[in-house]
Structure 1
Amino acid sequence: MVPLTAKTAARIIRSAREDSRRRSTVSHAFYRKWRPRTFAEVVGQDHVTQTLRNALKHSRIVHAYLFSGPRGTGKTTTARILAKAVNCLGDRVDRPCNECLMCEAVDEGRAIDLIEIDAASHTGVDDIRDLREKINFAPSVARYKFYIIDEVHMLSGSAFNALLKTLEEPPSHAIMVLATTEPHKIPATVLSRCQRFDFRPIPLEDMMARLRNIAVHEGLEVQEGALDLVARQSTGSMRDAESLLDQLSSYGGGEITLAQVQTMLGTVSSQAVKDLVDHLASCDVAAGLGQIGRAIADGADPRQLSKELVEYLRGLLLMKTTTLGPSYLTEEQRTEMARQAKSFTLDRLVSTIKLFNQATTDVRDASRPQLPLELAFVEATLSPEPDMESAATSHSAPGKKPPKRMEGEKTISGQVERRPSRFSQEAEAKPAPASVKEHGGAVTAEGAMAPLKRLQDNWTEILAAIKTSNRHVEAVIRDCPPASVEGDVVTLRARYPFHKEKLEEDRSRKLVEDDISKIMGQSYRIKCILGPSAGRQDPERADEMKSLAEDPVVKAGLELGGEIGGVQ
């Protein structure tokens, strides 16, 4: 009888385990079943894996590492592969071998010298003190005792201080890997004692290649475009993508279609998003709101729809600024998006993206989820503000004549001439001082108008700053243009009494004064007067207009740039 050597026994044990694993009826989730087992299998993190492989090759492993990056990008997986590599019993230079007993023990979760700690549930100083005591004991079987502390930023301040001593003077047989999604929360004293690796979001192409490989090995039939949507929806997280693919494999019974992915995610078809963008370009409010309503009725999630629209508009922005657009586009999609990009100015495209990006956040707290999306669409289709047009005219090239207007078309300057302000009427009534009459009155008058002209030129920027701070105040001050600037006092002319009352509130007044002062570069105070038309309103009608403005529906319209034309 041939004697049974240790090597033969180990081979028999491995074979038995493989048979047992194949016979097992327990189904693992895709992200566990397809977890990378070597550095080469880690997706999209070549800058990390190559460095670690070279460190292993030249025996330059350090005692502490910090792996930081978004969720699902391979931090814990890479830490486990490193644990296998430093304790691998194989003779190969490119470790781990995944064949020795140590590699198998780590893969099967039974390596007693690999200790994984969840810092989210072990945040106290007592937990770290316990770690400090145990880390000094030599490893039981392996070459190194390997610690992985996940979500390390959750440790308390005192726990970090306790951990610091171990990082300063670690035992030679111990290696620690700290993993976190928020490295900015880790004290600088800890960061400086670790070798840091930043994990990046998985590139779309790499993620799709990985998903395609999993689908082939799992025997899944995947429709074209389905994996692309899964990958884009995962926003750089490989684990999220694999979990979604696992769920879809059960939903479709081995066949995954684009419609199934859209149904599960609550998204709409790409054609619906294209149509919505076309309605934005043509400023067709009725068609756009109808499109949103139909999408919601068909089961689309408003937040998801807003995110898709932002992503599509971002593609148009890239197309307009770089002419290439996103790298994942087909030639047909690139041609279509190039056509749509021509329908938007760069300014309008940027403001539209901001509106829908904000709507994505507002959906969570809205009483009716699709309302922020609808309001964003309406606001994105509003015509440019008159003050923006006048500012553009004032910055035109000198000597260049403005475009000729059609007969009967009204101009802003014409309206100002027909409705002189109270200050201009008072100025005409008062005789000018003799010094002004006799010595260059025109130059002095221009000097007096210079601060007002400068304020008007910057008014669009001031409105944008106020809108960032408080949309309600911006909706009111939009109808209160500057009438004059005297010293450090800016006089605003309100159209309605409730506008004046709103701006005279301490909070609103301070906000407006701060933004005007910041943009103009000097300190200003504001005061508010009623315009001539508002002054002629009878008290009963003024009260009626004020109560109307407090109506929630009317208030929403005012915030979108609307005006109260009258009451019938």
Structure 2
Amino acid sequence: MGYQALYRVWRPQQFIDVVGQEHVTKTLQNALVGQKVSHAYLFSGPRGTGKTSAAKILAKAVNCEHAPTSEPCNECATCRGITDGSISDVIEIDAASNNGVEEIRDIRDKVKYAPNAVTYKVYIIDEVHMLSQGAFNALLKTLEEPPKHVIFILATTEPHKIPLTIISRCQRFDFKRIQPQDIVGRMSQIIAETGVSCDEQALHIIARAAEGGMRDALSLLDQAISFSSETVSVEDALTVTGSVSQAFLSRLAKAIYDKEVAVALEVLEELLAMGKDPARFIEDMIYYFRDMLLFQTAPALAESFERVLIDPQFKELAEVISSESIYSIIESFNQTQQDMKWTNHPRIFLEVALVKLCNEQRPNQIDNGQLQQLQQKIEDLEKKLLEMQKNGIPAAMAEKPAEQAKAQRAVKKSYKAPAGKINQVLKQATKPDLNAVKSKWGEVLEQLGLQNQKSLAALLTEAEPVAASTEAFVVKFKYDIHCQMAMENNRFVEVIASIMQQLTGHRMEIAGVPESQWQRLREDFISTQQFDGPEETESKEEDPFIAEARKLVGDDLLEIKE
């Protein structure tokens, strides 16, 4: 047979060879030794983490001639037959190409037959989430109560696509992404046994690029070995993985910190000339600054770093770049990464991001001169405070002017509704006029929007007409500040009058009153006026229900709505 890829040659043949999944392998080994093997398993997790390999190892272990055992011997006829695929009782099915109802019905019909050469007939269904709904339904009953000599092992990268009725019939094991240090350890073992020379740092680069998948790591290592001449160097690993050298990342980070736009763009030009992908480059930059932030806050977590190796240049930058700057840089690069997905010119977005970062003011940046000035001012203020206390002037005296100024500002901010104007409107107010204004109120807000007067319309969002005559109307505002801003704005008053003239055919003036003052003004007007009705909202004889309510809660808590 010709050359085989590394991930095929070094496929795990025992549980001990499955890297980074001890929580799965230990459970399965205990079940094998205790003869508590379930009838159905579900292995889920990212690609290349050992799901199918663990399934085949489990199939060998339950059928090994030395069973019960925690590991297959890989020497007996059964283990060798399952490994080379000559034993037909271990059936490996690709659900991506056999996802129909007929294929599953065929399995359902054959499971009742006893195995020919081994103790258990094992069905390994890979990418089981690709089965159709009908195929899942056909599998349900067989999966729940198969014959005693049958074991189902389902493997998937997308468990959320599998019906819960299937998942509940299986023992589920979640395979996790393999840590970079575990991948490096496995690759070092393979390198040692194959006799290939490889730089240690190159292995770390390949492990980080694999993103937690051992198969991907071995494929990249295989490619790097083919690409290199004698020794797999760091540059070989960077070229194969498409990653950017940390030296370039550090140069670019320093240029951003030093605000040197020309240097940053020069580094970017070099990288793009080397054929680096802009999307991969910006991802490397995000991880670089992410690792820098982790190094600042938790140096002990160096093993969890995604892209960087701790060198003197990285340490130097981590000491001078503040956490706030790193937050801003990561946020900017992340937004640029999102924008680059929807353009045919990602380089432009990348260049703009670099120029923007180099021109940004560093947050909370205070030079030594400014810091000394602030310290001197603080010392002067402390001396003055001590002198005042020695002279018998209490510290509260210093606070009094500030309190008086605050009170004056509060008085200035309060708004008093024009009671005379409102009383004049109430004298002539009628219910039909009020209903006419209310019916046009929505159109008033709409006209403000059409005239690009959104700021004026915002003042009326929680306001409503409460009284109207033929010449004017009263609007009640929920907040005093909104009423003040509206009524003190001559342009606002003129625009509302103009719109009302367009809608009603005659000009109507507006009077504003805060909700907190409206009830008092209305009650004062009713108590001083004796009338039978221009305003239909009040009458001489009060409704008996309202009178009784007034006795129970008083005028302050009583609110009468039409």
Q: Same fold (TM over 0.5)?
A: yes
Q: Which residue of 2 aligns with 1:226?
A: 202
Which residue number corresponds to residue 549 of structure 2?
A: none
For the aligned residue pairs, the C-alpha RMSD in angstroms reads: 3.2
Alignment partner, residue 234 of structure 2:
258
Q: Does 2:32 align with 1:56?
A: yes
Kept after mapping to 1: 8 A contact 2:223/2:240: no
Q: 1:268 aligns with which of 234, 244, 252?
A: 244
Cα separation, partners in 2 of 1:444 and 1:324, compared to 1, 3 Å: farther
**Structure 1 residues 548-559: aligned runs within 5 Å:** none
Which stretch of structure 1 is more off in the superposition, 99-108 or 134-143? Answer: 134-143
Please identify, of 307-316 and 337-346, the stretch whose mean Cα deviation from structure 2 is larger. 337-346
- Where structure 1 has 5 or more consecutive residues not aligned to the other structure, the ranges are 1-24, 390-400, 405-439, 449-479, 491-526, 528-568
Per-residue CA deviations over 1:4-60 (Å, capped at 9, x if unaligned) read xxxxxxxxxxxxxxxxxxxxx522110010001000111010010000000000000
Q: Does 1:248 pair with 2:221?
A: no
Aligned AA (2:410): V
SS of the equivalent of 1:31 reads helix
Partner of 1:356: 333
Could you say if the C-alpha distance between residues 182 and 285 of structure 1 is closer, same or farther in structure 2, counting changes exceeding 3 Å?
same
Letter in 1 for 2:238: Q
Q: Distance in 1 between matches of 2:94 and 2:356?
A: 46
Residue 143 (structure 2) pairs with residue 181 (structure 1): no
Instruction: Give distance in 2, aligned partners of 1:104 and 1:86.
Output: 14
Helix, strand or coil: the match of 2:173?
A: strand
Query: Could you state the TM-score of these two structures normalised by the residue count of structure 2?
Result: 0.63
The answer for the alignment partner of 1:129 in structure 2 is: 105
Once the two structures are superposed, residues 126-153 of structure 1 have per-residue CA deviations (whole angstroms, 9 ceiling, x without a partner) of 2222221122221121111101111111
Structure 1 residue 336: Cα displacement: 3.8
Residue 211 (structure 1) aligned to one of 180, 187, 212:
187
- What's the offset of the Cα at 1:164? 1.2
Letter of the structure 2 residue corresponding to residue 375 of structure 1: V
Matched, 1:383 2:360: yes
Q: Quote the residue 2:88 is aligned against.
A: 112
Q: Which amino acid aligns with 2:459?
A: E
* CA 299–114 in structure 1, closer or farther in 2 if over 3 Å, else same: same
C-alpha separation between the residues in 1 aligned to 2:455 and 2:324? 25
Deviations 1:464-521 (A, max 9, x none): xxxxxxxxxxxxxxxx99899735489xxxxxxxxxxxxxxxxxxxxxxxxxxxxxxx
SS in structure 1 of the partner of residue 200 of structure 2: coil
Map Cα deviations across residues 358-379 of structure 1 (whole Å, 9 max, x no partner).
4445545432242332233234
1:84-95 aligned at under 5 Å gives the runs 84-90=60-66, 93-95=69-71
8 Å Cα contact 1:315/1:325 also seen in 2: no
CA contact (8 A) 1:208 1:231 kept: yes
- After superposition, the C-alpha distances for 1:156-190 in whole angstroms (9 at most, x for unaligned) are 22221221111222111111111111111111111
CA contact (8 A) 1:318 1:324 kept: no
| Cα distance in 1 for residues equivalent to 2:455 and 2:267 | 40
Please give the secondary structure, in 2, of the residue aligned with 1:80.
Answer: helix
- From the superposition, tell whether residues 171 and 484 of structure 1 become closer, same or farther in structure 2 (CA, over 3 Å): same
- 1:198 corresponds to which of 174, 181, 189: 174
Percent identity between the two aligned chains: 42
CA deviation map 1:513-545 (0-9, x unaligned): xxxxxxxxxxxxxx9xxxxxxxxxxxxxxxxxx
CA distance in 1 between counterparts of 2:308 and 2:287 reads 18
Partner secondary structure for residue 24 of structure 2 = helix
**Of 294, 315, 331, which residue of structure 2 is paired with 1:318?**
294
| 1:347 CA displacement | 3.6
Q: Equivalent of 1:236, from 200, 212, 216?
A: 212
Q: Which moved more, 1:96-105 or 1:347-356?
A: 347-356
On the 8 A contact 2:288/2:308 being kept in 1, the answer is no
Letter in 2 for 1:287: V
Structure-2 change in CA distance of 1:153 and 1:351 (3 Å): farther
CA distance in 1, matches of 2:131, 2:102: 11
Residues 426-485 of structure 1 deviation map (CA, whole Å, 9 limit, x = unaligned)? xxxxxxxxxxxxxx884255468xxxxxxxxxxxxxxxxxxxxxxxxxxxxxxx998997
Secondary structure of 1:225's aligned partner:
helix
Deviation at 1:254, TM superposition (A): 4.4
Partner of 2:283: 307
Q: Does 1:373 align with 2:350?
A: yes
**SS where residue 111 of structure 1 aligns?**
coil
- Give TM-score, length-normalised by structure 1: 0.63
